Amino acid sequence: MNKPRIPHNKARDNELDAFIEKANKLPQRVHPAAKAAGRLIFALDATASRQPSWDRACQLQGNMFLAASSLGGLAVQLCYYRGFNEFYHSEWLQDSQRLLSSMNNVQCLGGYTQLAKTLDHCLFETRQSKVNAVVIIGDAVEESSDSLCNKAGQLRMLGTPLFMFHEGDDPVVGEVFRQMAQLSGGAYAHFDESSAAELAELLKAVAIFASGGSAALKTLQSPVARQLLKQIPT
């Protein structure tokens, strides 16, 4: 299995900074079909190593709906990949119990990551109707980092930030996730098996962002909210 290589050189860093500076000057794209409820894609790695974390995510996802309920609500689409080239996405759900039911029926299976397919799906959805935020939770990257970063930049142009939540301690995975988040105009955070409470706060903060934007996120006083906010371009 080949791990993605991240070239660390000044030229690439300068290109990244130049892209972000240019993207920050672009007007945000507004989709006329956007609905009052915020729209959030909740994408998870469902390969074998993720089963314990999947169970935790099932317990925590209801917090996203509760957090966003006072800001116009939240429509969530569940996505996951697993096994041999299996990629799934649900319909758009505004009922926490229906989302939980969908997640409870999933058994994680061994397989390679499918982050590129996930990002392609996110691009398709936000071109149809505005997606306010994308959460991706995973612990591995087995694809071209250049391709993933390119797709993250495309999402930036459409005004759809990635919130990349990294489980584990692989520094290469962390660097890829961090660059994807930065290029998309989103944020990166690391968590481990001992920080379920932090993951809950992260999901709550992103739900608030998806429903009310940066202004709503600023109303949260938690350290987690501040951690995300300082990464998001204003």
Q: 5-9, 35-39, 68-72, 96-100: which has the highest mean pLDDT?
A: 96-100
32 pLDDT higher than 90: no
CATH superfamily of 33-229: von Willebrand factor, type A domain (3.40.50.410)
Q: What is the mean pLDDT of residues 67-76?
A: 73
Which residue would you say has higher pLDDT here, 63 or 130? 130
**Residue positions counted in the chain:** 234
Q: Rounded to an integer, what distance in angstroms lies between the CA atom of residue 197 and that of residue 191?
A: 10
Instruction: Look at residue 6 in the predicted model and tell me its pLDDT.
Output: 56
Look at residue 34 in the predicted model and tell me its pLDDT: 37
Give the pLDDT band (50/70/90) at residue 198.
confident
- CA-to-CA separations, 102 to 61, 171, 228, in angstroms, rounded: 12, 32, 28
State the pLDDT at residue 173. 96
The CA distance from 74 to 46, in Å, is: 23
Q: For the chain, give the percent of residues with pLDDT over 90.
A: 45
Instruction: Identify residue 196 by its one-letter amino acid code.
Output: A
Least confident of 5-9, 78-82, 107-111, 226-230: 5-9
Residue 154, pLDDT > 70, answer: yes
Q: Give the integer Cα–Cα distance in Å for 82 and 48.
A: 8
pLDDT value for 30: 38
DSSP 48: G
What pLDDT score does 28 carry? 46
Asked if the model's pLDDT at residue 120 lies above 60, the reply is yes
Does residue 9 register a pLDDT over 90? no
* Nearest partner of 233 among 195, 194, 174, 182, judged by Cα: 182
pLDDT interval class at 65 (50, 70, 90):
low
Sequence ranges of the domains in the chain = 33-229
Do the beta carbons of residue 116 and residue 142 sit within 8 Å?
no
With the CA atoms of 196, 211, 174 and 83 taken in that order, what torsion angle do they form, in degrees rounded to the nearest 10? 80
Mean pLDDT estimate for the chain? 83
Q: Which residue has the tokens 């500076």?
A: 21
- pLDDT tens digits along 162-187: 999 998 889 999 999 999 999 999 99
